Chains A and B, each alone.
Chain A
Amino acid sequence: MTDVSVDAPTLSLPEPGPVAERRHGPSGAALRVLLYVSLAVVAFAVLLPVIWMLLSSVKPEHDILAHPAQLWPTHLTFTNYSEVFKQIPFLRQFGNTVLFAGAVTLFSLFFDSMTGYALARLEFPGKRLLFLAVLLFLMLPAQVTLVPVYQLLSHLHLVNTFPGLIIPRATNAFGIFFMRQFFLGIPNDMSEAARIDGAGEFRIYSRIVLPLAMPALLTLGLFHLMFNWNDLLWPLVLTTDTAMQTLPAGLAMFMGQHVVEYGLLMAGATMAMVPMLLAFVVVQRRFIEGIATTGLK
């Protein structure tokens, strides 16, 4: 096997930039201190809602409602976490979120990469038209089609069902565009060789091209997972039944409609937040690289 080196699209991120620290002396040191102080303030401000939410989820109720406000709990309690399962269908909504975001991600990776592959590597009448449509849909705000999509799904009795939540999202213009750009960038020699050896197109795609596309698929998969896990408007519109809601929709509705114990809300919100937070910490590097490259291709 010839070795195929793939150097798109995981451009390795910023080596220390061009601004070499040349200047020493008092003004240089003062600038450095200023830089650190401002970065620390910014980082704290950005992380504040995350920290606050984590800490509030283990606060007793009267701590959350304390005036003046306090960041640290007076004492730790985990009753919020046990109570939240009793008061809202948390487990069910958590499962809904996993199923919805997971299924959308898998289907979308499959369909996006197939279409991206056809757009990058195959010739067929209508190719240009399809690509133009993809570019148009890329710009189209999803809210514009929301009413007719809702009507269509309601007509098909798919509101408040998983197929209704998942199928319309099972492919997506951004994913197709992303995969096409990736496939354009990888060498064609091996597919050609396989084609001459008589391999079918689907075999070439699944055995040769997809394995080479793992980095891109992983990045795109994270995008899809994150976007759908976090999305609010789509599940809000397509689920009226609390037992079908995903966590963002369930928690947001819960916050508005009921007088709740805030600690519960925070425990629920924390558990909705933590999976994405952990996923991010685990794949942080790849993820940031993936985002960095999407803008430049």
Chain B
Amino acid sequence: MTSLLGERPAGTGTAAPVPVRRRNGLRRRQALRAYGFIAPSVVILGAFMAWPLVSSLRLSFFDSSQFGADTFVGLDNYRSLLGDQVFRGDLFRTLLYAVVVTPVTVGLAVLFAVMLNRRLAGRSFFRAAIFVPAVLSLGVMSIAWDFLFDPNIGLLPHWLGPLGISFGNGAADPHLALVYVMVVGIWKNVGFYMVMYLAGLATIPKELYEAAEVDGARPWQKFRSITWPLLANTSAFVFVIAAIASLQAFDQVYVMTRGGPFFQSETLVYLIYRKGFQDFQFGYASAVSWVLLVIVLIVSVAQNAFFSRRQVTY
């Protein structure tokens, strides 16, 4: 894997020696042209990413709503966050969601990838079927899931009820709403990660397995000592994007539960939406945003540190 910042020799220098002054002129001309190339992106990223980032940090120290002027309140927003039972619950649920959904999704993705990495009739059908949710709208498909979980007219309670699996009151069940939201989140992403693992599996040299078989290794041993370690690079990437995606769960929450009942399935992103765009408490919502940002940064840095120690080359 090439390091992200490893600059390759850029295609600028012509080989023939050029007088210094002319070279400087060339360089300046090229820089100007380069600025032409990056101008649209820089303007847009500046206006809609960089400035809002700074602005949301500023807002988080203000009492700001749709009407009236902003007033500086220092750390008040953050203080009231800490005292807010709903925020603390949302923070807990968001972390719980990430801690459950990330490993389960990645684990299933590895399992399906390994199952579908062998010669098998119908292999491309199975791959495509498991991948399909990745191209569909989570918001739209959550409508279907909501119906499937419904205790009265849902297929899942009807089919699985006799097996002793209780679906409670569907997405309106305070104890189960978060579970359903998690299931739908896993459903959406598992195929996407599976495809990444399939690509990772394709790079593992066959000889390793042949050697292991000569030594009489069992399938599980082969997985533990060859497949999983050699997938470390893929795992590093997949775990980071899976964790970040989990921390941002919103769509299925909005459609299936609106965060309810009694906030029992509300996540931090839903709280940002509710505070920012229903209650119009911009300052408070910005403070929540920055809490989320800090969590995401910690998770990315921690995972990078964890996995870079285990990076493998082969």
Contacts and interface: CB of A to CB of B under 8 A. Distances in A.
Given A52-B148, A147-B282, A201-B30, A296 B41 contact: no
A18 B34 contact: no
Contacts, number: 349
A205 B37 contact: yes
A118 B34 contact: yes
A259 to B, nearest CB: 15
A229 interface: yes
B175 to A, nearest CB: 22
A117 to B, nearest CB: 6
B138 interface: yes
B98 interface: no
Interface string A143-160: 111111111100000000
- Specify which of A20, A114, A135, A148 lies most central, judged by the most chain B CB atoms within 10 Å of its CB: A148
A171 B112 CA distance: 34
Interface residues of B, number: 119
A232 B142 CA distance: 11
A54 B269 CA distance: 30
Contacts of B135: 226, 230, 276-277, 279-280, 287
Interface stretch (B74-82, B83-91, B99-107, B283-291): B283-291
B158 A69 contact: yes
A149 B119 contact: no
A150 to B, nearest CB: 7
Interface of B: 1, 4-5, 8, 10-12, 14, 27, 30-31, 33-38, 40-42, 44-45, 47-53, 55-56, 59, 112, 114-120, 122, 125-148, 150, 152-155, 157-158, 187, 190-192, 195-196, 198-206, 208-209, 213, 219, 222, 233-234, 237-238, 244, 247-248, 250-251, 254-255, 258, 269, 272-273, 276-277, 282, 285-286, 289-290, 292-293, 296-297, 300
Interface of A: 11, 13-22, 35, 38-39, 42-43, 46-50, 52-53, 56, 64-71, 110-112, 114-115, 117-125, 127-128, 130-131, 133-135, 137, 139-152, 167-168, 170-171, 173, 176, 184, 188, 191-192, 195-196, 200-202, 205, 226, 229-233, 236-237, 247-249, 251-252, 255-256, 262, 265-266, 269, 272-273, 276-277, 279-281, 284, 287-288, 291-296
